[in-house]
Amino acid sequence: MAACRVLVVGDQMLDEYLHGEIGRISPEAPVPVMHLQRSESRLGGASNVARNVAALGAHVSVFGVVGADRAGEALCGHLDELRIDRTGLAVCNKRPTTRKTRLMSIEHNQQVFRFDDEVTDEITAEQEHVLLKSVADAIPDADAVICSDYLKGVLTRSVLQEVAQLGRRFKVPVITAPKDAEPDKYARASVLLPNFREFTRLVHHRKNGHSNGWIDPAALSLIEQHEFDALLVTRGKEGMSLFERVSGELSREDIPAVSQAVFDVTGAGDTSLAVFALCLAAGATRSHAAQLANLAAGIAVSKRGTACITPEEILQRIVDVSSDLSLETHAGAD
């Protein structure tokens, strides 16, 4: 993994946390008054995906748009601290850096309020051109490209389809995490990686009863109609399902979630996306990459906040799971 270079294209965000104590109710309105004790900021969105890739030791470059504001400066500062290449970030004076600010109660260690500062309009054609020129210059030396869509306007249809085309031309896998319900926007990505709710929207499925018989035909149709090489659906406590087309037939591999105490699911999707893409970059099969991504997601949910996973943690978890399986085998034999 350490020898790989990954490009992360998408909506770069800053997550801000304001921690304080709630001591009274405001006399102006029936709302709590929080006394600020400390504040902190972290990388969010596509920037957090890049942070996860960097934590695994790879070389990372980010591509997107930030505002000419303090949030943009803070985001760039975090990227610099992690030695993430940000030459592909364009600064725009006409839109703010996407910033999510959370007010956190120290007493209860939970979020009590959140406000977002963002513009979700699509970037201009000129900004698309600049962004795609940066990606085109970098992709020949890349081992994988991640497109992380949060519907904040950077990953337009034109950007996504041109990146997918560049990936095909240079034989670099493009792994895309979708948020839009229109699958043709993501056409020709190597692997589409939605969660189950996103998958149901992409195939326009309406919940009716408890039957799951619709899943396989819907997955095959999605792959064939939009020319994906594979589809990896994350399913929370049920693990992941990898769908691939083999000789015109659908191959499905269900990967059960690794048993782990769940403290916080925040950022687990970014972790699994980063691990899966980096495994492919390092030469793993999609099956092995999905299994490691599933294992990494299990580690991520056992931590609080948007935690990153290290190679050492993944290796240790493999040892632990192997030991558990060995014990179960011996117990069954007894």
Segments forming the whole domain that contains residue 206: 5-14+45-98+119-333
What 3-state class would DSSP assign to 176? strand
Q: Is residue 324 part of a domain?
A: yes
Task: Report the distance separating Cα 331 and Cα 327, nearest Å.
Answer: 6
- Does a structural domain hold residue 33? no
Catalytic, 149? Answer no
pLDDT of residue 107: 84
181 Cβ partners below 8 Å, 6+ apart? Answer: 201, 202, 204
Q: How are the residues of the chain apportioned to helix, strand and coil, as percentages rounded to the nearest 5?
A: 40, 30, 30
Q: Identify the CATH number of the domain in which residue 71 sits.
A: 3.40.1190.20
| Residue the block writes with tokens 């979020």 | 111
Going by the DSSP 8-state scheme, the letter that residue 123 receives in this structure is P
When divided into structural domains, the chain yields a total of 1
Q: State the pLDDT at residue 81.
A: 97
Q: What is the pLDDT of residue 292?
A: 93
* pLDDT of 303: 65
For the stretch 230-278, pLDDT in tens is 999 999 888 999 999 887 789 999 999 876 655 445 667 899 999 999 9
Active-site residue identified among 11, 15, 143, 270? 270
Structure tokens, 168: 């095909």
Domain-embedded: residue 113: no
CA distance 248 to 287: 18
In a domain, 58, yes or no: yes
In a domain? residue 23: no
In a domain, 78, yes or no: yes
Of 51, 103, 101, 37, the residue nearest 71 (C-alpha): 101
Residues in the chain where the model's pLDDT stays below 70: 207-210, 259-267, 302-307, 323-334
Q: Name the nearest CA neighbour of 298 among 262, 273, 274.
A: 262
